[in-house]
């Protein structure tokens, strides 16, 4: 038996190789079987309340496990600068105020997203200027592009022919979904003037109707399914 040896030049290359192997293994399982998915809540600095909507991601996971061919582990918190970031299929980021990434965190998040990770940013109100500033540090060569209603993320298990649904009023503007694309792949989906996370929360938190909450959960499930199939 011939043994082949190779060296990994740095930790970022090793993470990329590991992530690609994991993605390949998931693909080989087949679409008819359940896929293991891990979703994290992104912890960041700057003073914004990254911990807002504590029941939202657990409720989304519960909904997806019932409605999609996916087995999603219970959610956990992950720091934007942590090496553990690379163990998550998707990280969810929300809050109301300032966001600040250190240079180390900028590089870590960039490596994670380039390596196959996915970031969902949900503006809980008041994040827009900070999110755009910090993501420009992560990808100075990229700009957020508004996704058309025809984008596949809106036509997964649950069709949204008009695009992103409006969950909470905020400033009364239409809901918009923006994306960052790296080498043709959607790596970050930013939901603005929508507040999907509020719609995922326990009903008594915002007293949203069952229809509104279901709409928000269905759109969240579309995001998860899109990640798993793309």
pLDDT beyond 80 at 106: yes
Give the burial class of 90: count Cβ atoms within 10 A of its Cβ; 0-12 exposed, 13-18 middle, 19 or more buried: buried
> Each residue of 208-220: b (16+ CB within 10 Å) or e?
beeebbebbbbbb
Q: Is 137 inside any structural domain?
A: yes
pLDDT for position 26: 43
pLDDT for position 25: 40
What average pLDDT score do residues 71-76 get? 94
What average pLDDT score do residues 181-204 get? 96
Q: Is 143 inside any structural domain?
A: yes
Q: Is 114 inside any structural domain?
A: yes
What's the rounded Cα separation, in Å, for the pair 187 and 200? 22
Q: Is 16 inside any structural domain?
A: no
Q: Is 5 inside any structural domain?
A: no
Q: How many domains does the chain have?
A: 1
Owning domain of residue 189: 36-229
What average pLDDT score do residues 61-68 get? 96
What average pLDDT score do residues 213-230 get? 96
Local confidence band at 67 (pLDDT 50, 70, 90 cut-offs): very high
Give me the chain's average pLDDT, please: 87
Q: Is 9 inside any structural domain?
A: no
Contact assessment for residue 230 and residue 186, using Cβ atoms and an 8 Å cutoff: yes
What's the rounded Cα separation, in Å, for the pair 86 and 64? 22
pLDDT beyond 60 at 36: yes
Q: Is 20 inside any structural domain?
A: no
pLDDT for position 27: 39
Q: How far is CA 38 from the centre of its chain?
A: 11
pTM value?
0.84
Provide CB contacts within 8 A for 67, sequence distance 6+.
Answer: 157, 221
pLDDT for position 129: 97
pLDDT for position 17: 44
Q: Cα-flanking dihedrals φ and ψ of residue 129, to 5°?
A: -65, -35
Q: Is 24 inside any structural domain?
A: no
Local confidence band at 182 (pLDDT 50, 70, 90 cut-offs): very high
pLDDT for position 169: 79
What average pLDDT score do residues 37-52 get? 96
Helix (H) or strand (E) holding 25: helix 11-29
pLDDT for position 230: 86
Contact assessment for residue 172 and residue 196, using Cβ atoms and an 8 Å cutoff: no
pLDDT beyond 90 at 143: yes
What average pLDDT score do residues 202-207 get? 90
Strand partners, 181: 186
* Domain at 45, CATH number: 3.40.50.12140
Closest CA to 128 of 203, 40, 48, 54: 48
- Beta-sheet strands, E only, within 124-228: 145-146, 176-182, 185-192
């Amino acid at each position: 038996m011939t043994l082949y040896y190779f060296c990994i030049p740095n930790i970022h290359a090793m993470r990329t190789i590991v992530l690609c192997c994991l993605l390949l293994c998931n693909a080989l399982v087949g679409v008819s079987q359940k896929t293991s998915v891990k979703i994290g809540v992104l912890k960041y600095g700057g003073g914004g309340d990254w911990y807002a909507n504590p029941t939202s991601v657990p409720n989304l996971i519960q909904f997806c496990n019932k409605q999609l061919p996916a087995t999603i582990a219970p959610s956990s918190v992950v720091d934007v600068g942590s090496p553990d970031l690379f163990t998550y299929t998707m990280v969810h980021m929300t809050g109301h105020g300032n966001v600040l990434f250190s240079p180390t965190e900028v590089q870590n998040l960039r490596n994670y997203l380039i390596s196959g990770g996915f970031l969902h940013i949900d503006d809980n109100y008041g994040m827009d200027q900070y999110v755009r500033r910090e993501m420009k540090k992560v990808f100075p060569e990229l700009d957020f592009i508004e996704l058309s209603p025809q984008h596949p993320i809106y036509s997964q298990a649950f069709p949204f022919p008009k695009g992103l649904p409006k969950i909470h009023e905020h400033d009364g503007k239409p809901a918009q979904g923006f994306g960052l694309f790296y080498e043709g792949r959607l790596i970050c989906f930013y939901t603005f003037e929508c507040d999907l996370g509020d719609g995922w929360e326990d009903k008594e938190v915002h007293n949203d109707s069952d229809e509104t909450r279901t709409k928000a959960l269905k759109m969240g499930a579309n995001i998860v399914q899109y990640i798993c199939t793309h």
